[in-house]
Amino acid sequence: MMKKFGRKALALSLTAVLGASMVLTGCGKSKSEDKKGEDTTAKIGLTTGLASDTTADISIMTWSGDSKYYEDIGSMDLSTDKLTSQNVAQVYAVAKQFKKLYPNIKINLWAKTGDPDQPGTPKWEQEMTSFKAKYGKYPDIWASTSVTNDIKKGLAADLSVFSDDETYKAYNENLMSNLNYYGFQGGLPSYSIPWGIWVNKALAESKNINVPDPDWTIDEYTRFFTKSDNTSFWGDKSTPVNIINMGTTTINKQIKEKGTVDLDSDEVKSLLSYIPKWAASTIDVAEGAGTLSKDIKIESKTYSWYYFCNNRCLTNITDPWYLTAGADESAKESESYIDSKDWDIYPFPSTDYCGNTIKVVMDPICIHNYAADDGNKEWSDDEKAKLKATYTFATYWTASTEAKQAIFDQKWTDNGAEKSAAGDSFPVVSGDTYNKQMDIWNKLPAHKTYKDKEGWKEI
């Protein structure tokens, strides 16, 4: 079982698992050393030996942007008021720094507005095809919604050819292994956050409900969840079936280890009796029964996160993406800000089969398989050179501390407010580099809530 945290163990105490895994993977060699024994940690992201006069044209395709195409964005001079997308601001900041190192490499960007499969827009796969039709090639780097499919299509390059590179070694092994298929390294982690359960402690205490400790069991979770009055507040918006996925060894764990699931196992069967108990204390069931007031629906726009923010739910199990927005005291008027004086993030409850656990959200990027462009699977020297240049930028962007600092320093405009371009993502590297990048993460004003909480320093 996970270590027992004190009652005031910080929100995000659960990230001890994520943080520790990142640190532990670097324990054997927490610092990279060159042949002379020099500490090269600060050089992570620039360890490929790419010549400074290299010429290349690298196009990036991602989402959560503004759907504008930026050619050679690193050479542009964009004012803060022109940067209205956080993702665009991040790439702009990194490309500007990279341009100083490699003046002959152009970084182009197209970032789709909203999600990759935003309703009313083409699917991400179609967007990839449209990009090729419009710009004459597939993107060199893209945010992938399915690395396995991109490999099957022959689009993604095998990055294991860089396995001796110091930056490659610096990535968190657990994250990298989830993108490795029988030795084929299909992508790199670019974004990672812990996924636990948001707990509205102030709401519970105002209703005289005892709040369990973070190392709660499934029975403690259920008792807490079902104390809702189901009129003005509920356990959660929807039935938390993920508790069963995470609390057995035959679903999520078996998928990770064997690539299969067994829904008919005794473990799963023994936990099914919890589902009707949870369901009875959800907003979805109240809405289906016609007992959810119209005012409450309008107040939260029927969105799970807003119900939690508006003190309508004791927990939230479905929205891990609000580490910054939920705690940003400079944006208390935002619908995404948690309107509670005391909240926390807990791990998933333990069961007879699994201890307290967390999920990890990871967004990967892939790099184009240049060998497929001429129909010849053999890599030419020119194709290898293209891959090396693109890989160098991709690792600089996702793994280097210099890039993280540039992103932190970059400003963008969010609904009229000027903010740092830094966001939720934890570092995707390990060892000392992870610690240095977490120092930057902690400096973001919106993350002060986490930094100042008891227990955070132990992570």
Chain position carrying tokens 């060699």: 29
Mean pLDDT of 303-307: 98
Q: 141-143 and 56-62 as β-strands: parallel, antiparallel, unpaired? A: parallel
pLDDT in tens, 159-193: 999 999 999 999 999 999 999 999 999 999 999 99
The confidence band for 33, taking pLDDT boundaries of 50, 70 and 90, is very low
pLDDT surpasses 60 at 207: yes
Position 109 pLDDT exceeds 80 = yes
Bridge-based pairing of strands 105-111 and 56-62 is parallel
Q: How many domains does the chain have?
A: 2
Residue whose structure tokens are 């994520």: 18
Sign of CA dihedral 130, 131, 133, 137: negative
Q: Are residues 132 and 206 in the same domain?
A: no
pLDDT score for 456: 53
pLDDT of res. 261? 81
State yes or no: pLDDT of 9 exceeds 90: no
My answer on whether 189 and 201 are in the same domain is no
| The pLDDT of residue 190 | 98
**pLDDT (average), residues 100-115:** 98
User: Do 178 and 208 belong to one domain?
Assistant: no
d(CA 358, CA 196): 5
- According to the model, what pLDDT value does residue 37 have? 37
Q: Taking 50 as the threshold, does the pLDDT of residue 1 lie above it?
A: no
Q: Which residue has the higher pLDDT, 134 or 251?
A: 134
% of the chain surpassing 70 pLDDT: 89
DSSP bridge pairs for 109? 60, 70
User: What is residue 205's predicted lDDT score, i.e. its pLDDT?
Assistant: 98
185 and 248, same domain (yes or no)? no
- Whether residue 370 sits in one domain with residue 345: no
Residues 251 and 353 in one domain: yes
What pLDDT does residue 338 have? 97
Question: What CA–CA distance (Å, rounded) separates 458 from 345?
Answer: 15
**Residue 341 backbone dihedrals phi, psi, to 5 degrees:** -75, -15
User: 160 is in which domain, residue-wise?
Assistant: 39-193+363-444
Is the pLDDT at 211 greater than 70? The verdict is yes
The residue with greater pLDDT, 37 or 278, is 278
Does one domain contain both 292 and 223? yes
147 pLDDT tier (thresholds 50, 70, 90): very high
**Calpha distance 172→399 (Å, rounded):** 10
Q: How far is CA 400 from the centre of its chain?
A: 17
Strand partners, 451: none
- Whether the per-residue pLDDT at 26 is higher than 60: the answer is no
Confidence of residue 41 (pLDDT cuts 50, 70, 90): very low
Domain assignment present for residue 85? The answer is yes
Whether residue 215 is predicted with pLDDT greater than 60 in this model: the reply is yes
Q: What's the chain's average pLDDT?
A: 89
179 plus 102 within the same structural domain: yes
Mean pLDDT throughout 331-356?
95
Residue 458 pLDDT more than 60?
Answer: no
User: Which residues touch 343 (CB under 8 Å, ≥6 apart)?
Assistant: 11, 198, 199, 200, 201, 202
- End position of a domain, from candidates 295, 325, 357: 357
* Distance of alpha carbon 64 from alpha carbon 87, whole angstroms: 6
Under the banding of pLDDT at 50, 70 and 90, the label for residue 8 is: very low
Q: Nearest-5° angle of CA 383, CA 385, CA 390?
A: 95
User: In three state form, how does the secondary structure of the chain look?
Assistant: CCCCCCCCCCCCHHHHHHHHHHHHCCCCCCCCECCCCCECHHHCCCCCCCCCCCCEEEEEEECCCCCCEECCHHHCCCCHHHCCCHHHHHHHHHHHHHHHHCCCEEEEEEECCCCCCCCCCCCHHHHHHHHHHHHCCCCCEEECCCHHHHHHCCCECCHHHHCCCHHHHHECHHHHHCCEECCEECCEEEEEEEECEEEEHHHHHHCCCCCCCCCCEHHHHHHHHCCCCCCCCECECCCCCHHHHHHCCCCHHHHHHHCCCCCCCHHHHHHCCHHHHHHCCEHHHHHHHCCCCHHHHHHHCCCHHHHHHCCCECEECCCCCCCCHHHCHHHCCCCCCCCCCCEEEECECECCCCCCECEEEEEEEEEECHHHCCCCCCCCHHHHHHHHHHHHHHHHHHHCHHHHHHHHHCEEEECCEEEECCCCCCCCECHHHHHHHHHHHHHCHHHHHHHCCCCHHHC
Domain boundary among 357, 387, 408: 357
Class of residue 434 by CB neighbours under 10 A (exposed 0-12, middle 13-18, buried 19+): buried
Q: Taking the model in full, what pTM does it have?
A: 0.86
Tell me, yes or no, whether 218 and 189 share the same domain: no
Instruction: Please count the CA atoms within 13 angstroms of the CA of 146 that sit on its side-chain side.
Output: 11
Q: Give the residue from 322, 357, 392 where a domain finishes.
A: 357
pLDDT of residue 22: 30
Of 112-126, 134-148, 261-275, 418-432, which range is least confident? 261-275
On the question of pLDDT at 29 being above 90, the answer is no
Question: What are the residues facing 156 on neighbouring strands?
Answer: 368
Residue 93 sits in a domain whose CATH number is 3.40.190.10
What pLDDT is stored for residue 256 in this prediction?
A: 75
The set of residues, in sequence order, having a beta carbon less than 8 Å from that of 50 and lying 6+ positions away, is: 102, 388, 389, 392
- Is 408 found in the same domain as 392? yes
In tens, the pLDDT along 353-404 reads 999 999 999 999 999 999 999 989 999 999 999 999 999 999 999 999 999 9
The single residue listed with the structure tokens 């001796």 is 164
Average pLDDT in the 3-18 region? 33
User: What's the one-letter identity of residue 357?
Assistant: T
Instruction: With a cut of 70, say whether residue 154 has pLDDT above it.
Output: yes
